[in-house]
Structure 1
Amino acid sequence: MNRILPLLFALVLSLTHLSAQQSAIAGRTSDSTSGQHLPFVSITVSSNGTDPIANGFSKEDGSFSIIVPAAGDYMVEFSAVGYNVKTMKCVTGSRLVAQLVILPKDLSAVTVTAQKKLVEMRPGMLVYNAAADLGNKGGTAADVLRKAPVLNVDAQGNVSMRGSSNLRILVNGKYSGQIARSAADALNMMPADMIQSVEIITTPSAKYDAEEAAGVINIITKKSRKDFTGALEVVAGNMEQVINPRIAASRDKWSIAFNGHIHRYRTKEASVFSRTVTENGAPGTELNQSMERDNTAPHGSGDLSLTFTPDSLTEWSFGSNFWFGRWPDTRSIVTTSLDAMANITEHYIQRVNSSERYLGADFNLGYTRKSRRPGQQLSLLAQYSPGRNRMPYDITLSDKDQLSLYAEINSNRTSNQEWTFQADQVWPLGKKGIYILDAGLKMISRNARNRYKVTADEAPTGDAYVPVPSRSDLFVYGQDVYSAYSVLKFDPAGRFYAEAGLRMERTSIDGRLEASGTRFSNGFTNLIPTATVSMKINEDQHMALSYTQRLTRPYVFDLNPNANASDPKNIEVGNPGLRPETTHQGELTYSINQSGRFFINTALFARVTSNAMIDLTQTAPDGVSTTRMENMASNRIAGLNTSYSFTLTPEFGINGNVNISYLDYSSNELRLFNEGWAGDISANASYRLPKRYTVQLFGKYDTRTIELQGRESGTYYYSAAVKKDLSRPRITLTFATVNPLTPFIAQDEWLSGTNFYSVAANRYYTRAFKLTVNWEFGKLFEAKAAKRVSNDDINDGTKK
């Protein structure tokens, strides 16, 4: 025993001496923009900046610890795919290193400063990395799309691409019933904080549904690879108040995520409207109206996703998304009618109380199986989307003495459900796999029921409402779409890439009006060819030529004959006989991308649409107008689009868009023709200041919008944001303002027909100030990462 104790003591001393001779460089790598940890970053340590003495990789949670011979000064180089190489000087000491080794979670983090590009080009698409743009903090999806390349978003949140609003908007590659109901409302309900990136596909291949003429927008939401992450975002402002909780957890083969959104959104508008009915070319009766609306819409949504990966080749996924809310449209209208001699024939005040209450959901189940042969994959998807809403309105017309002249109530209830089944298969062909075959089948079944009943009171008392049978009915509508596609790709991993595809879609529709006994049905088959050829000029430059044919079907809202007469002088009604429109589209693109610091994508495009669906306004001799969709026009659009992104310094970057289009609308049947130039320009700049401050500026100007019957004047939009990052706790403070120097955006609209012309002066009150607090709390609960298999080879269905 006496001999053993000295030996043990000597052993301890020798180990202590050995540890004193060695030291370690430890820390953590992370993305400088998103703050997310970066796994598998290559790390090289050198004593003089040239001769490496140690190397290693960061772990899955971004942490690293590399042994060096002794304490002192070292140069540490970090490199990872998609990021700039970062070199840092590190001073170590034996005491500091000992503490780092024992308590790694308390280490001072070493951050790889790697500013992710805001805009990237991938095969067949442009990608806007929304998570890297600080100005999106506290905003909505509409704010995100407003900054994305090619796209245009107006003050109401309506999205268009190169002059067309016929777009297909997907979320993680999946159809969303929430967006189908109303894209503008849905985008204002989706928080920007949950969006990772936006894919803009201007010429979709045959793999995508043929529906929507202009293109496809795919919104990719954030996903977490950590054991536990969470965030809480709170927005306080004069135009909106928001609470966005987000939480995600993963363990072994399971992962779950939830995103919530509670939103109180204010809209304020005013307009002055004048319409003159002509008689034999001379001015006749005149209608003058002034309108004001100021509404606040409380609404919310939630998104739950669950993923199970039993092995590296298989993935099961379940997702659900639900939305609810009340969207009011209460307004006051003062109406004055004049005869041809300018004598007042009518004068009344109209109050409209309207509020849409809605509840809807999407439920989807997905299965993905990858083969051991690289690139071969089978994907199955089933989705169910139920929904219901109530869109009633009641109006009261009164004279200047508040005496009731007329009152009307329209009770309007709609229920709908949609089933989707989809199967996709990818096969690499040949030994080298340079040929790839994509093929798939899809079925969509849509059913909707709309019951509406109108009661009116023409007595001055306003107490005796009488049913109006001619404006009351049950509208039942069904639509089934069966499709199959095949795409053959040639990808030799060299300078050339080519693909050609064909999609067949069979559509069957039927509908009926129960009370009137009216029935209608139709069926049509469409063959949709697509083709793309691209060439890699050199490492920085690419060219591509694409062609596609697109199809736009009418929605049930466009077909519903229930007349919206909330303004009896301007009636809106659906058209059950509406047919789809077909579009041919071609595009030639050139892009240059130099080391991620200089990016330009320029596209020449042309689009020809026949049998176009247009909102046609016709005015009767009594001055009442009716607007409904008709297949009575064709249009041709040609233009130039340029998207750019410059990283001038590591701290300063700018990106934006320039669009110029020539539009030609014609309708021989209506004897209406309109053509002209239109364009828009935008710029988004970001500058990182010392002490974790960042400043962002955004501006956009639209020259005008041209339609068959008229045009709209130009508009502008600008915003500014200042962000402050706090490291402990991990909180981001962002103060943003929208149009701070102008109380409203003014936009005029001119419309004309064979027997009328009108002008409207609109004001959209968009000036806003808001403070956003974003707290990411997942790091507080991080456990020490265990070594386990990472199934990063699973494709979530959103990668192209």
Structure 2
Amino acid sequence: MPSIPAFPRHRLALHLGAALATLLPLTVHSAELPEVKVVGLQDSVMDSQTTVYDREALTSEGDGTLQEYLSRQPGVSVDANGYISLRGMGEGYTQVMVNGRKANSDNGDASIGDIPMGMIERVEIERGSSASESGTAVAGTIRIFTRQATDKPENTVSVRAGFSPQGQFDHSVSLSLGGKRDMLEWQTNTTLRQREYKVITSTVTSNDYGLGYVSEVRDDKGVKQIRKSQLMLTGEVAVRPDANNRIGLSWMANVTPESERARSNVDYRYDAPGYVDHNTEQAGWYNRISPQWDIAPTLKWNRQLSNGGKFQAEIGTHQYGATERENYFNNAPDYSGEYSSHYRSRERKWHSALRFDLPLSATSVLTLGGRIERDKFIFTEIEDGESFSDTMKRHTNATFVQWNWRPSSQWSVETGLRREEIKNVMPPDSDHASRKNNLWLPSLNIAWTPNADQRAHLGLARTYRNPKFKEMIPGFYRDWGGWYQNPLLQGNPDLRHETSTGLELGFTQALRDEGKQVGKLSANVFARSISNALITELYSIPNPKPNQNQPVLWILHSINGPRTRMLGLELGAQYDLKHTALQLPVNLNANLTLTETKVADRESPARLFGQSPAVLDLGFDARTQGGGLPDVWGMSVRLESGYKARMNPTTISQVRPLRSLSMRAMWKLNPSTRLRGTLGQFGNNWHSTAVTPAAPSGGTSEVSLRTKRFWMAGLMLEKDF
């Protein structure tokens, strides 16, 4: 995410994740639909709300990473760090599953930025919720499945190089090997990736303390250089002892060393009658993260029952660890010094799950299941040879029942009830007691298909969102900083979970010409009513230590806010010109998303951060052969309106409109060799401005943040063997 290089990365990530980063919505591109398949139209109610991108769709374009592909799908946002969300609802609202396990980290986000396309088997995007899934899908669910052992082993090697004239690069090499012998199946995928890129920012802070003129201006311009290496392994080994049983051990692991260097030049001016101060200073830091490691093995047993039902059982674990060291320096005229810090994060999870699909008749199926999750998070700060640790645990027990019924060929009904028991265990030395919550999460989904060209659906569901671990740790704060760009973080162990009641209502119409389908129109209305909304507020207090350059301290604090209501409309259109009088091998598509949010008891504007009220995606895909042109190529444009949002009761933020352009192409050099190319990140720079009172006398403080956008070109060569 965009950050202010003069300050340590982890502080920005933790402290401004919900406030400032969302003021800078990042690039997302237009939808691309020709190869997308909605599978099982007659099998499940949720299929009307689910889009499935199979391997053919994912690999038929020029995209080299999953982030590039999903960032131009309708309603999907992916920021610069690969954090993904639906409908612009922000962090923590979108449930992301990788091979059936939650990918959302302790801070509520799920990153897909480092998953190469060659490792993906399929992706499912579900705009809705059902009892059989976790109840945290407020905006929807994105399910990612990596390459597993199947009846069609894949042996492929690919090399990819991305570059930018501004000195950025992204290189990777991937290898996939698979096979099958008697009862044994296997598939392994390995990727080695190296990235180097810059983040260039400019932050201008102006303070008017009610004196009638701008008395203080701080102009901070900085460059952050980031280098990352990554080794990722995924795969599965499976045994089929007979036709009805399959036992598979899958894994996903990666190691990621990372380093960051940043330097900023600050121009400070203070002007008051009889006193003028003008000075410059340099600040910077070097941060090295020891190889982060992440491993998630899962053992799964699938059995086909004699009555046509299915039984699934699985057990798995997820272990994560990272060590971070920072060195910071500042040579201001009135202060010069160095600062160092050392942090360790550990997260340990394990889960077990059972599921039965039992046919009751030819038209109905009853599904029963349960899931147990145990999550432990340990954060350690080391300073001056002393260490301070905080440990939090979360226990989740879930059971569900779901009934799928098809009373006729036109109607499908799915209804269910999910119960989740959540216990948050506070640190041993905390004065706050552990809390247990019981959530009942009903859901209802109805689909009506009057003919082969039309389909309508209705969905109702109750979902929830847990607070982040780091927001709940008592006293988890920094006693260094306190600037607007680098506020203190204040923990809130009294945070409660957020609950949401959601409505989905949609319609799809196929377009035909002389009996051939040439396009599709779709419309979907969604609404959410959120209670105990988890809101991060940024506020200031007078500095207890008088400081002319820092008269106030900024603090970031999470609270349960008032009821929040959201209403949205999604419109989509697709048309193939091949079957028109023009007879062009071009498919046009357009998608429009409109949203409006209202926070109770708050003056206008009152909306969620990062949720632009209007997003328009336009694009086309073409298929040509011969003449030196690519076999498949296309272009996408995204136009996102600007908006105003309220960061807290007194601070208003204004985000400028965004425009972005991306292009892609693929050449089939021969039946086993492909060349892919992408060109993206064209568009205006990110810019937001926040205005807040700076003094009781009526003065104001204005902070303007700009982040430069770099365009990037990429080429990838693939070879099957």
TM-score bin, normalised by smaller chain: 0.7 to 0.9
Aligned counterparts, 1:543-558, within 5 A: 543-558=456-471
SS of the equivalent of 1:234 reads strand
**Contact 1:286/1:623 (<8 A) preserved:** no
TM-score by length of 2: 0.81
**C-alpha spacing 1:346/1:541, structure 2 compared with 1 (3 Å):** same
**Contact 1:135/1:736 (<8 A) preserved:** no
User: Percent sequence identity over matched residues?
Assistant: 14
Distance in 2 separating the partners of 1:129 and 1:683: 22
1:140-197 per-position Cα deviation (integer Å, ceiling 9, x unaligned):
2211211223212244433222231211111233333xx5267878411101233343
Distance in 2 separating the partners of 1:420 and 1:356: 28
**C-alpha spacing 1:348/1:520, structure 2 compared with 1 (3 Å):** farther
Match of 1:51 in 2: none
Match of 2:406 in 1: 491
**Contact 1:227/1:251 (<8 A) preserved:** no
SS of the equivalent of 2:185 reads strand
Distance in 2 separating the partners of 1:563 and 1:289: 24
Match of 1:593 in 2: 510
Aligned-pair CA distance for 1:760 = 2.7
Higher relative contact order structure (alpha carbons within 8 Å, sequence separation ≥ 6): 2
Distance in 2 separating the partners of 1:393 and 1:321: 29
2:157 aligned with 1:232:
yes
**C-alpha spacing 1:447/1:359, structure 2 compared with 1 (3 Å):** same
Match of 1:770 in 2: 714
2:172 aligned with 1:266:
no
Match of 1:727 in 2: 670
Q: 2:133 aligns with which of 205, 208, 225?
A: 208
**C-alpha spacing 1:271/1:135, structure 2 compared with 1 (3 Å):** farther
**Contact 2:471/2:558 (<8 A) preserved:** yes
2:649 aligned with 1:712:
no
Aligned-pair CA distance for 1:585 = 1.0
Match of 2:95 in 1: 168
Q: 2:606 aligns with which of 674, 680, 686?
A: 674
Distance in 1 separating the partners of 2:519 and 2:431: 60
Match of 1:787 in 2: none
Aligned-pair CA distance for 1:572 = 4.7
Distance in 2 separating the partners of 1:427 and 1:652: 45
Match of 1:95 in 2: none
Aligned counterparts, 1:495-506, within 5 A: 495-506=410-421
Distance in 1 separating the partners of 2:106 and 2:619: 31
**C-alpha spacing 1:411/1:775, structure 2 compared with 1 (3 Å):** same
Q: How many matched pairs?
A: 634
**Contact 1:285/1:623 (<8 A) preserved:** no
Distance in 1 separating the partners of 2:446 and 2:378: 45
Aligned counterparts, 1:633-672, within 5 A: 633-649=562-578, 651-666=585-600
**Contact 1:529/1:548 (<8 A) preserved:** yes
Match of 2:446 in 1: 533
**Contact 1:128/1:149 (<8 A) preserved:** no
Distance in 2 separating the partners of 1:306 and 1:566: 49
Aligned counterparts, 1:300-311, within 5 A: 300-311=231-242
Match of 1:512 in 2: 427
Match of 1:749 in 2: 688
Distance in 2 separating the partners of 1:519 and 1:444: 23
Aligned-pair CA distance for 1:291 = 2.5
1:269-289 per-position Cα deviation (integer Å, ceiling 9, x unaligned):
222223455657977765442
**C-alpha spacing 1:223/1:677, structure 2 compared with 1 (3 Å):** closer
Q: 2:501 aligns with which of 580, 584, 608?
A: 584
**C-alpha spacing 1:584/1:183, structure 2 compared with 1 (3 Å):** closer
TM-score by length of 1: 0.73
Aligned-pair CA distance for 1:613 = 1.4
1:82-134 per-position Cα deviation (integer Å, ceiling 9, x unaligned):
xxxxxxxxxxxxxxxxxxxxxxxxxxxxxxxxx84466772441223464256
2:369 aligned with 1:440:
yes
Q: 2:338 aligns with which of 393, 407, 429?
A: 407
Q: 1:573 aligns with which of 473, 476, 489?
A: 489
Match of 1:611 in 2: 532
**Contact 1:158/1:183 (<8 A) preserved:** no
Distance in 2 separating the partners of 1:639 and 1:549: 17
**Contact 2:420/2:440 (<8 A) preserved:** yes
SS of the equivalent of 2:70 reads helix
Aligned counterparts, 1:366-515, within 5 A: 366-374=300-308, 376-399=309-332, 405-430=336-361, 432=362, 434-455=363-384, 473-512=388-427
Distance in 2 separating the partners of 1:717 and 1:390: 36
Distance in 1 separating the partners of 2:335 and 2:67: 41
Structure 2: gaps spanning 5 or more residues: 1-33, 42-46, 164-168, 543-550, 580-584, 648-652, 695-699
1:235-285 per-position Cα deviation (integer Å, ceiling 9, x unaligned):
112131111111211223221111112221233222222345565797776
Aligned counterparts, 1:17-166, within 5 A: 116-117=35-36, 122-129=47-54, 131-132=56-57, 136-137=61-62, 139-165=64-90, 166=93
Distance in 2 separating the partners of 1:663 and 1:575: 26
Distance in 2 separating the partners of 1:525 and 1:337: 53
Distance in 1 separating the partners of 2:81 and 2:655: 14
**C-alpha spacing 1:269/1:636, structure 2 compared with 1 (3 Å):** same
Structure 1: gaps spanning 5 or more residues: 1-114, 456-466, 778-800
**Contact 1:398/1:405 (<8 A) preserved:** yes
Match of 1:699 in 2: 637
1:361-387 per-position Cα deviation (integer Å, ceiling 9, x unaligned):
10111111121223x111111111111
**Contact 1:370/1:377 (<8 A) preserved:** yes
Alignment root-mean-square deviation, CA: 3.0
SS of the equivalent of 1:492 reads coil
Distance in 1 separating the partners of 2:688 and 2:717: 39
Distance in 2 separating the partners of 1:381 and 1:254: 19
Deviates more, 1:280-289 or 1:541-550: 280-289
Aligned-pair CA distance for 1:521 = 1.9
Aligned-pair CA distance for 1:390 = 1.1
**C-alpha spacing 1:574/1:241, structure 2 compared with 1 (3 Å):** farther
SS of the equivalent of 2:101 reads coil
Match of 2:15 in 1: none
Distance in 1 separating the partners of 2:220 and 2:479: 15
Distance in 2 separating the partners of 1:206 and 1:340: 62
Distance in 1 separating the partners of 2:55 and 2:222: 37
**C-alpha spacing 1:338/1:513, structure 2 compared with 1 (3 Å):** farther
Distance in 2 separating the partners of 1:251 and 1:536: 43
SS of the equivalent of 1:557 reads helix
Match of 1:332 in 2: 263
Distance in 2 separating the partners of 1:335 and 1:522: 46
Match of 2:623 in 1: 688
Match of 2:678 in 1: 736
Distance in 1 separating the partners of 2:518 and 2:679: 28
Aligned-pair CA distance for 1:661 = 1.0
SS of the equivalent of 2:69 reads helix
Distance in 2 separating the partners of 1:636 and 1:363: 39
Deviates more, 1:767-776 or 1:653-662: 653-662
**C-alpha spacing 1:739/1:611, structure 2 compared with 1 (3 Å):** same
Distance in 2 separating the partners of 1:484 and 1:227: 35
Match of 1:298 in 2: 229
**C-alpha spacing 1:336/1:566, structure 2 compared with 1 (3 Å):** farther
Match of 1:628 in 2: 557
